[in-house]
Structure 1
Amino acid sequence: MSYRLWRTGARSALVGALLFPVAAVAVNNTFPVSAAQMRALGITVQRLDKPAAIRGLSYPARVILPPQQDVVISAPVAGVVEQLLVTEHQRLTIGQPLLRLASPEFGELQLAALEAANKNRLAQQTLQREKQLFAEGIVPQRRLLEAEAAASDGKAGLRQTSAALRLAGLDAPAVARLIGSGALQESLTLKARSAGLVVDLQAKPGQRVAAADPLLRIADPSQLWLDIQIPAKRADAWAKDGDITVVGRPVTARPMQAGAVVGEGQTVSLRARISAGVDRVRPGEAVQVQVPFADRANAWSLPLAAVARQGEQAYVFVRTAQGFDARKVNVVASAGQSVSVLGPLKSADQVAVSSVIALKAAWLGESGGE
């Protein structure tokens, strides 16, 4: 008899011998396999030593900007874009001019501020005069009270018009210069209120814009987050103190919180703040990350070929005195040809790492081969 015929016969004998006790398999998942049958089918085992540290399962993620790091500069007043003073992808410093906007509305705001300043100045002078006259007994107290009310109104009007100018883009020193000199500015120069990078220019010279129209977008990439999609059933299992790593890059992140809403793909969003290697990724980039879970200390490292699937459930086959025992496991990490699993395993267990498909067929009482 040739070796091929002997091996095929041994395999058929193994599967045939296990067709009968199918009912018992459903109870304890144990089935007999002799040493000779293992040799015939090329089944080898690996002895478990101790649980291995898990770097984490790989999940898709996107690099995003934190909300406070992404700023849209909009038109504070209606007008015409006179000149752009920056270019796309240019790095900015605080206070750097961005663009000039010619606006009749801005002129009206300046005029209102000057009128309010004049009224306030007159009201303050009137109050001082009324105080002196009242002290000399020349005017009644009612005149003094009216002057105090007018002075209070004058201050309030000046504060309101000055605030309108600051909202339009003038800083406090510029507002003070305008009120002190009385010289109106012909155009409004918008300045950067934070450092960052120009990521989008939406305005062009000569373009008419309405109030609140977006002009450009500034992003500060010094801080970045990862938006990670993890299965909803693992939403609360991630390690609070574990480092998330980006596959293939020296980038790590610290997990912050998982979303409360499950998406269409039955996933939740896990947000993580990049703590190292922020300059190795860009906002909007899609990456793969490894997320450690809190139960990683009890995981076992095995070859990928050691895991068999029955439906959605994963199994490994553990050698026993009579044969093998099919045990349920959860795959919690994978990298290349290695996986990390959780399940009823212990040190010194011998797990089948080859010809697992043949063991699965024998376990289920099937007649299929490898």
Structure 2
Amino acid sequence: MPKTITVVAAAVLLVVFLVGGLFAAPIWWDALAQLLDLSPGAASTGETDEHDHGSPTSVKLTPQGRANLGLVVEPIAPSDYWRTTQMPGMVIDRPGESDRSVPAPVAGVVMRILARQGDLVRPGSPLFVLKLASESLQTSQTELLRQTRDLEINKAEQARYSTPELKALNPGRLIELDYQRRRLEAGIQAQRQDLAARGLTPAQIEQVAEGRFLTEITVHAPTPSNSADDVIYDVEELRIRLGDQVQAGQALCILADHQRLYIEGHALAQEVGLLQEVARQKRLVRIEFLTGPGISPPHASLELPIRHIANKLDTESHSLRFYLELPNLHQDSDAESPGNASHRHWRYRPGQQVRLHVPVEEFKQKFVLPAGAVVREGSEAYVFRASGDRFERRPVHVLYQDRQVAVLEPGDSEITAGNYVARNSAAALNRAMKAQSESSEHGHHHHDHDH
């Protein structure tokens, strides 16, 4: 305002003050002071009190405030990142491999149970003792002993008829004995194979051949076909009790090998092409477990390739199943069962729900932050850059964001590589910044009108 006009206006207000009387004096004096841009401080020093009421851009935090927010501040650097699409999944047993039944080799009565549910057993470990109640097994043992004795007699006869005198008297006898020997050896071999198929060990078969018949048989944990040295079974289920009469082939227990499991994922029909491309390029799928792990500490992030994709759609859900092989981890318990068989606690268990993050699009050399590092206001997005005890709000260009990460364009943001930024609690920082600004404005307003 030009100085002449200001002086004239002041003179007019002074006249009105004199005419209006003392009751109106405070009101018109304030108006006069504002017109002349005066305050008690300004009148004495000649300075003006200007307040910036624009949008706040930073917030100051005490060490206690940072601790209360659990603030994580780290330098930012560009990196590669894959955008993913999410698909549901579940941990399952390997079909036909994880679980196996242990059948009774012969009919019998359960006399002893050597492994209980939850015990850890190795291939060849004894599981049950059965008292034989099989007539066919008794017959096989008797037949093996008889043919073994007949063979011994045959050999003795052959040795006797090998002398020159007897050989000259009956030359056809040796031919007959030799034919009989071959027939007996074939019968003995068949009986031995029959007993071996019923679960008898070579030592037990030799015992029968010597005339010591078996009245009990021990059932052992089977040896896997791949003969892996580290195979260990968990006794998952017992299907018999002491004193039960069992038949040949009846399941005695279920053994589980959970060292390797599958993750079964479900994709929509329109995602088949994406899955095939991911499998072809051997991209890794990130696994997010929705149910807690079996042991502590919690499992880290896990990435696995697709093992195979089913060749048909599920008729009920119209989804396509695909599978990933999951190596399992375990922790053996310190306590031991009465049979000195330790127990094992697996980290991953069939039935655990998972969320599969299948890679779709790659971002190269972008800023990748946790989603909590970005706060949005309308169309704008911000992160907080650390500067001493202050955090400056800086606008950024978000290329992609989900509930876990935010991908920023380095060349289109007010942050650069090496800047220290808050990696979490951006929304809380934004609220604190506004609260400090409002508190400051309220203080200034109160100061201006407190006379």
TM-score w.r.t. the length of structure 2 is 0.50
What is the match of residue 20 of structure 1?
none
1:93 and 2:122 aligned? yes
Distance 1:273 1:134 in 2: 76
Measured at CA, do residues 214 and 109 of structure 1 come closer, stay the same or move farther in structure 2, by a change above 3 Å? same
Distance 2:88 2:94 in 1: 19
Distance 1:127 1:275 in 2: 63
What is the match of residue 288 of structure 1?
354
Residue 179 of structure 2 aligns with an amino acid whose one-letter code is A
What is the match of residue 257 of structure 1?
308
Measured at CA, do residues 193 and 338 of structure 1 come closer, stay the same or move farther in structure 2, by a change above 3 Å? same
Measured at CA, do residues 335 and 83 of structure 1 come closer, stay the same or move farther in structure 2, by a change above 3 Å? farther
Which digits, 9 at most, give the CA deviation of each residue in 1:300-326, with x for residues without a partner? 99x99xxxxxxxxxxxxxxxxxxxxxx
What is the match of residue 227 of structure 1?
264
Deviation at 1:247, TM superposition (A): 0.7
1:246 and 2:287 aligned? yes
Residue 247 of structure 2 aligns with an amino acid whose one-letter code is A
What is the match of residue 177 of structure 1?
207
What is the match of residue 336 of structure 1?
403
Partners of 2:80 and 2:363 within 8 A in 1: yes
Tell me which of 245, 255, 259 is aligned to 1:218.
Answer: 255
Measured at CA, do residues 117 and 236 of structure 1 come closer, stay the same or move farther in structure 2, by a change above 3 Å? farther
Secondary structure at 2:105 match in 1: coil
1:148 and 2:178 aligned? yes
Partners of 2:259 and 2:329 within 8 A in 1: no
What is the match of residue 186 of structure 1?
215
Tell me which of 318, 325, 348 is aligned to 1:266.
Answer: 318
Deviation at 1:169, TM superposition (A): 1.9
Tell me which of 268, 277, 293 is aligned to 1:237.
Answer: 277
Partners of 2:265 and 2:356 within 8 A in 1: no
Residue 215 of structure 2 aligns with an amino acid whose one-letter code is E
What is the match of residue 391 of structure 2?
none
Partners of 1:57 and 1:334 within 8 A in 2: no
Partners of 1:59 and 1:228 within 8 A in 2: yes
What is the match of residue 37 of structure 1?
none
Which digits, 9 at most, give the CA deviation of each residue in 1:309-347, with x for residues without a partner? xxxxxxxxxxxxxxxxxxxxxxxx99526699xxxxx99
Deviation at 1:172, TM superposition (A): 1.5
Deviation at 1:111, TM superposition (A): 2.3
Measured at CA, do residues 69 and 276 of structure 1 come closer, stay the same or move farther in structure 2, by a change above 3 Å? closer
Deviation at 1:192, TM superposition (A): 1.6
Partners of 2:91 and 2:261 within 8 A in 1: no
Deviation at 1:292, TM superposition (A): 3.5
1:159 and 2:189 aligned? yes
CA RMSD of aligned residues (A): 3.9
What is the match of residue 148 of structure 2?
117
Measured at CA, do residues 120 and 66 of structure 1 come closer, stay the same or move farther in structure 2, by a change above 3 Å? farther
Partners of 2:108 and 2:246 within 8 A in 1: yes
What is the match of residue 92 of structure 2?
63
Residue 286 of structure 1 aligns with an amino acid whose one-letter code is Q
Distance 2:249 2:404 in 1: 55
Residue 201 of structure 1 aligns with an amino acid whose one-letter code is L
Secondary structure at 1:116 match in 2: helix
Aligned-pair identity in percent equals 16
What is the match of residue 208 of structure 1?
245
Unaligned stretches of 5+ residues in structure 1: 1-48, 305-332, 341-345, 350-370
Deviation at 1:86, TM superposition (A): 1.4
Secondary structure at 1:53 match in 2: strand
Partners of 2:91 and 2:348 within 8 A in 1: no
Deviation at 1:160, TM superposition (A): 1.8
Partners of 2:87 and 2:358 within 8 A in 1: no
Distance 1:64 1:267 in 2: 20
TM-score w.r.t. the length of structure 1 is 0.59
Deviation at 1:50, TM superposition (A): 10
What is the match of residue 78 of structure 1?
107
Residue 63 of structure 1 aligns with an amino acid whose one-letter code is I
Partners of 1:198 and 1:219 within 8 A in 2: yes
Unaligned stretches of 5+ residues in structure 2: 1-77, 224-231, 290-298, 332-345, 372-399, 413-451
Secondary structure at 2:311 match in 1: coil
Distance 1:334 1:132 in 2: 100
Q: Max radius of gyration: which structure?
A: 2
Deviation at 1:267, TM superposition (A): 2.3
Secondary structure at 2:279 match in 1: coil
Distance 2:352 2:102 in 1: 27
Partners of 1:117 and 1:158 within 8 A in 2: yes
Number of residue pairs matched by the alignment: 266
What is the match of residue 131 of structure 2?
102
